[in-house]
Every structure is written in structure tokens, then in C-alpha cells.
Amino acid sequence: MLLIPIGRDETIVRRTPMVSYAIIALNVAAYVLLNLVLGSAHFSVMEKKYGELIAYMQEHPYLIPPEAAAPYLPKGAAGYMAGARKDAEQNGSLPNRSVERAEQQRLDELAAELARLVDTMPERRFGFTPGKPSFIARFTSLFVHTDFMHLLGNMLFFFATGPFLEDVFGKPLFVALYLVSGVFATWCHASLHPDSMVTLLGASGAIAGVMGAYFLRFLRSKTQFLFMPILFMPRFSFRFFLPSYVVFPLWFLMQLWFAYNETEQDTVAFGAHVGGFVLGLLTASVVRYFKIEEKHIHPKIEAEISWSRNRNLDAADTLRASGDLTSARASVARCLSEEPENVDAMVMERELAFEGDDWRSWGNATSRLLDLYVKKKEMGLALELVHDTIGRGGTHVPERFVLRAADLVVRLPEERGWGLDLYRHVADRGTDPQNVLRALLRVARMERESGDAAKARDALERARSHPGCVGDWMSAVEMEAAQLAKTAGL
């Protein structure tokens, strides 16, 4: 049976939750590096040393098990060796003292080497061990996970809550909450089990802090869950929503119960979950009581995401309405000097040039606007601009713009025919040899690709006979002709 959170009822956030994404990315990167890259190689060495230790103990069962090896021995191994030693003493099969001392020393060395390898395992180096506390490990342990399911479970709970809390708390407070919750959760676990040698790993304490704050901030929101009664059989699964005031209190009570009954040897730090959740709850309470979100966080976020128009554009609108196109164009130019990629300014620059019959400026402004749309991947706006320009501009549309427009529209299967017509327009009516030859080569290639060899050859013959077809242009024409011959099987 599997029950996992997969979302919430309201999924809109005002800004991209970059901190949440970064935290997830760091956890995934740490897992790949420590578990799959460094950990696998280290584990193979440790496994070999463990095999040596067990084999040596089997060959010398009468020796005393080293204390350093106790955590790694099979259950009952110490009792078995104690019995074997007693039998050896009774039947007189113990080796002499010097041999036994050498054998015991070798066993102790093997145990010490294994213990050292265990201590240098990535999860032990970067995880937090209460019996061997480290200040740095309090932070690094938040990004280390034992296995993939441990990582996946934590990240799913975080993804269902973190981005939404980041959106309302803002990035600085959210980062502080995450890290402080994680450290406080680690401290809670260490306080409950100060001598434990079980390493604490994972982001669950920090995520519990996020969940605690999320619970209070989004008390009436609903979390969506995926319930899969039979593991890895999605067809039997179903989804449902539960309100936060039901989900999170139940989860917290479960963690509190398990924390009350946990021991030093438990592999899940329920006490850390409780501590993190409580800290998150307290943080959200402070934020609400002092109205920190309303007074300080929300205004800054709104100022960041709110759109404000350049003052020069407002002035240009006023001047345009009064008929002073020259001054209006000067205001637009000042706006573009401050914001070179201001789309509204570029659109107005183009319109003012059109109204003033300044076709040269109109063509230049149109070309720059098209380049900006393409750069921003606004293909719909770019296509609208091409239609509008060719429809309104007539003979004033620059050849170079028509070629640029053709290059753009032929990428779209439904506009390929129109793109071919634009290339033909430049080929038939163009005056710049470079533009004409480029258009003819494009026509030849497109006709070849469509299977019309005759029209492709006609375009190539026109290109060959053009006075400007020399040097590199002639080489390009001959290469296309060779490709045509190959395609047509001539």
C-alpha cells in the first residue's frame, strides 16, 4: 500500500519557486554523488573488508570479538565465539599464548579497519551522529539520504508544500525556516538520544518545519493524495483531497506517538519530525501575530512582480495624441536607451514611423521587433507581426525582412507554403544580389525536398545565370545541384 501527496487544490504561485527547486536539485545531486558515485565504490571496499573479518573469525572462533566489530557482527556471533572459546579451553585446543596474542591482534586490526571504513562512508561523514556530534554535519545531513525511496518520499512531501510556502513567505524567510528547522530537528533527536551511534540522515526534519508552517498558513487548503493499494500497479490507484486541518494534525500525532516509543536503534528519527514541525508552527505563528507577511513580505513581492510602464512611454502617448510625432519618437528613443528590449516601446517606435511615412525607420524597427519576438520565443507574436508587415507595408517592406520572415514561417509545417512564396517574392523582385541568390537557393532546396525536381533545377539555373553568382555563391549553387542530382537519381 502506498499513500503519497502529489499536489494541492490551488497550484498557482506568483513567482517561480527557485529556492524550492534548488533544494530538490541539491538533494538529488547529493544522492547521486554520495550514493551512486562515491558510495558504491566505498561500499565494495568495505564489503571486502567485512568478508575478511568474518572469515578470520570463522577460522579462529576461540578469539574474543573486538568491541569495534560489535555493531557489524551477525546476531548471536558473540555468544557463539564465547562458547567456542570455552570448548577450546576445556579440550586444550587453544594455541599457545604468543600465537593467540598475534591472532587476537590481527582480529582487532581487521575490526579497526572495518570501523574506520564505516566511519568514512559518505553517509557517516556527512550525516549527523549524536554520539559524535559535528557542527557542519548538522547542515550536511539535511541533504543526505539512505536510498532512493527515502529521497523520493521526502521530496514528494516537500514539493507538495514548499513552493507554496516560499511564495507567501519570500525566499529569505523560507531559506531560514528550512535550515533552522532542520538544525533544530537534529538537536531534538540528539537531545533524546545523546549517546546514539546511529547516523541521522535526510531532509525530513527540515521538511517537517516547512509542513508545520504550511499547516498554519494554509489551514483551509486541501492536499491531493495518490492512494495505491497494490504497489506499482497504477491502474488500481485513485486520487483524493484532504483538508490541511485533517492531514497535518493526524501526521503530527503519529510522529509524536512514534517519538514517544522510539529507541536509540530506530532508523527513523520521529523526534526530529516532531521538533521540526513544532518550530515551523511557531515560526508561522510569529509571522501571523506580528503581521510580518502583510507589512514586509507581501509588499516587496508585489513590487517585484507588478508591471510598471516607463515614464517616457507615457509622455510619448501624450505627444502622439497631440500630433507631435517628432517629440513622441524622441521620447520612445529615450525609453529604448534605458530599456533596449522594451517590447511596448519597440511597437510604438514602429507605429510612429508608419504614421510619419518614414519607411526606412519603419523597416528597421519592424526587423528589430521581429528579432526580439524570436529571441523571447514569442512565435505567435512574431507570426502576427509578419502578417501585419507584409499586409500593410506593400513595396516598402525591406527585402531582408521578407527573407527573415520566410526563414521563420517555414519552420511551421502549416505555413511552409507561405514561406516558399516569400522566398519566390524576393527571388523575382529583389534588387540586392545577395538576397536574390539566397532566396533562389532556398527555393531550390524546398522544391527538391518536396519532390519537384523541375522547379528546383529552374531555380538553380536562374541562380547560375545571375551576375552576382560568383565565388562562394557559385560553390553553394553547385553543391545544391549535386544534392538535387543525387536525390533525383540522375
Interval 103-116: pLDDT, tens: 999 989 998 888 88
Strand partners, 7: 224
Q: Which sign, positive or negative, has the C-alpha torsion 226, 24, 147, 144?
A: negative
DSSP 8-state class, residue 200: B
Distance, in Å, from the CA atom of 280 to the CA atom of 271, rounded to the nearest integer, reads 14
CB 356 within 8 A of CB 325: yes
Answer yes or no: are the C-beta atoms of 313 and 332 closer than 8 Å: yes
DSSP string for residues in 20-45:
HHHHHHHHHHHHIIIIIIIHHHHHHH
Place of cell 507538495: 160
Euclidean distance between CA atoms 359 and 219, whole angstroms: 60
Q: 2-8 and 238-243 as β-strands: parallel, antiparallel, unpaired?
A: unpaired
Among 331, 359, 335, smallest CA distance to 367 is for: 359
Question: Does residue 213 have a pLDDT over 60?
Answer: yes
Whether the per-residue pLDDT at 1 is higher than 60: the answer is: no
Confidence of residue 164 (pLDDT cuts 50, 70, 90): very high
Grid coordinates representing 433 are 544580389
Cell numbers for 173:
524567510
d(CA 353, CA 325): 9
Say what the alpha-carbon torsion angle 294, 298, 303, 304 is, to the nearest 10 degrees: 170
Given a cut of 60, whether residue 73 has pLDDT beyond it is: yes
Q: How far is residue 394's CA from residue 398's CA, in Å, rounded to a whole number?
A: 10
Give residue 45's Cα distance to chain centre.
Answer: 33
> For residues 282 and 441, what is the distance between their CA atoms, to the nearest angstrom?
70
Q: Do 350 and 398 contact (CB within 8 A), yes or no?
A: no
φ/ψ bin of 377: left (φ > 0), alpha (ψ from -120 to 50), beta (otherwise): left
Question: Beta strands 2-8 and 222-228: pairing type?
Answer: antiparallel
Ranking 126-130, 247-251, 282-286, 377-381 by mean pLDDT, the lowest is 377-381
How far apart (Å, rounded) are the C-alpha atoms in residues 31 and 37?
9
Q: What is the pLDDT of residue 121?
A: 83
pLDDT at 415: 83
The pLDDT tens digits of the residues spanning 350-394 come to: 999 999 989 989 989 999 999 998 888 888 888 888 888 888 877
Query: What are the Cα distances from residue 129, in Å, to 118, 200, 201?
Result: 13, 6, 9
CB atoms < 10 A from the CB of 331, how many? 24
Query: In this structure, what are the phi and psi dihedrals at residue 225, rounded to the nearest 5 degrees?
Result: -120, 150
